[in-house]
Amino acid sequence: MYLLPDRKKKFQTRVHRKTLNPLFDETFQFPVAYDQLSNRKLHFSVYDFDRFSRHDMIGEVILDNLFEVSDLSREATVWKDIHCATTESIDLGEIMFSLCYLPTAGRMTLTVIKCRNLKAMDITGSSDPYVKVSLMCEGRRLKKRKTTTKKNTLNPVYNEAIIFDIPPENVDQVSLSIAVMDYDRVGHNEVIGVCRTGLDAEGLGRDHWNEMLAYHRKPITHWHPLLEVSLQSPDLYSPCYLFSLNIIYLLTFM
């Protein structure tokens, strides 16, 4: 959960196993001045925990106007519907990569490990995939790197490290755009799917980046779903319908 627009301060509940009606009863405190609350909103993301793969997003809840709930002088209990927050309507496959940052050296390493279940781009029912990684800052591409091309496969294995020099004072200002491409020897290379990671990314892309910053020198590995290139934007997840589930939370401001 976040108190937007600040995404650096994040809280996470414990995992409750084998239940569709979890009871958390956990309290979290955000340091914020009372006169700033009118411009803040609470953002909750609900995930299904997966020990061996990426966590699946069940949905999200956004409380836009905190003062509509109460005057915030006392505790308030609120029920909100969980909105579906995924645009992964087309299965383009997934990519696994790790992130590691060394602040003393100002070096970030993205290791492309492998992809699975990629979309077939050739008439033969296969693809010739490679991965292109771009270092971005405010919409501008600063640098780009790419892996080798793996021939005739939808499940390529790379284990290739891509390194960018990023000083600690700039690490909050950049993001990484990852594109899985299909190599074409005679025509144009086509985009199979994309994903993004950084503080301004959404969902897993942001969480992966924050985890990297929290554990310096330790490679952090996750699976990421590939999205259509037209969906590559700061908001990778948008509501599409309401679940019949609910989330309950308490607001307390001192």
pLDDT tens figures, 220-245: 999 999 998 754 443 333 333 333 33
- Residues 79 and 248: beta-carbon distance below 8 Å: yes
Q: Which residue has the higher pLDDT, 144 or 234?
A: 144
Q: Report the percent of the chain where pLDDT is more than 70.
A: 82
Q: Are residues 43 and 154 in the same domain?
A: no
Q: Are residues 170 and 187 in the same domain?
A: yes
Q: Are residues 72 and 161 in the same domain?
A: no
- The mean pLDDT of the chain is 83
What pLDDT was estimated at residue 114? Answer: 98
Nearest to 69 by CA among 221, 206, 252: 252
Question: pLDDT-based confidence at 214, cuts 50/70/90?
Answer: very high
Q: Are residues 63 and 165 in the same domain?
A: no
Q: Report the percent of the chain where pLDDT is more than 90.
A: 44
User: pTM (2 decimals)?
Assistant: 0.58
- Sheet with 2-4: strands ordered across: 2-4, 41-48, 56-63, 76-83, 242-251
Residue-number span of the structural domain to which 106 is assigned: 94-231
Question: pLDDT-based confidence at 252, cuts 50/70/90?
Answer: low
What pLDDT was estimated at residue 77? Answer: 80
Alpha carbon distance 254, 242 (integer Å) = 32
Q: Are residues 118 and 173 in the same domain?
A: yes
Summarize pLDDT for 55-72 with one digit per residue, the tens.
Answer: 677 888 888 777 776 666
Q: Which residue has the higher pLDDT, 50 or 104?
A: 104
What pLDDT was estimated at residue 51? Answer: 65
160 pLDDT higher than 90 = yes
Q: Are residues 119 and 51 in the same domain?
A: no
Q: Are residues 78 and 126 in the same domain?
A: no
Strands (E) located in the chain: 2-4, 41-48, 56-63, 76-83, 94-102, 107-116, 129-137, 140-146, 157-165, 175-182, 190-198, 220-225, 242-251
Q: Are residues 136 and 227 in the same domain?
A: yes
Summarize pLDDT for 83-97 with one digit per residue, the tens.
Answer: 775 444 457 899 999
What pLDDT was estimated at residue 8? Answer: 61
Angle subtended at Cα 158 by Cα 155 and Cα 163, rounded to the nearest 5 degrees: 140
State the DSSP H helix or E strand holding residue 68, giving kind and residue range, or none if neither: helix 66-69
Q: Which residue has the higher pLDDT, 175 or 41?
A: 175
Q: Are residues 181 and 101 in the same domain?
A: yes
What pLDDT was estimated at residue 236? Answer: 37
Q: Are residues 57 and 115 in the same domain?
A: no
Q: Are residues 211 and 165 in the same domain?
A: yes
Number of domains in the chain: 2
What is the DSSP code string of 152-196?
Answer: S-SS-EEEEEEEEE--GGGGGG-EEEEEEEE--SSS--EEEEEEE
What pLDDT was estimated at residue 238? Answer: 36
Q: What is the CATH number of the domain that holds 77?
A: 2.60.40.150
What pLDDT was estimated at residue 184? Answer: 87
Which token pair is 2?
Answer: 């976040």
For the chain, the residue count is 254
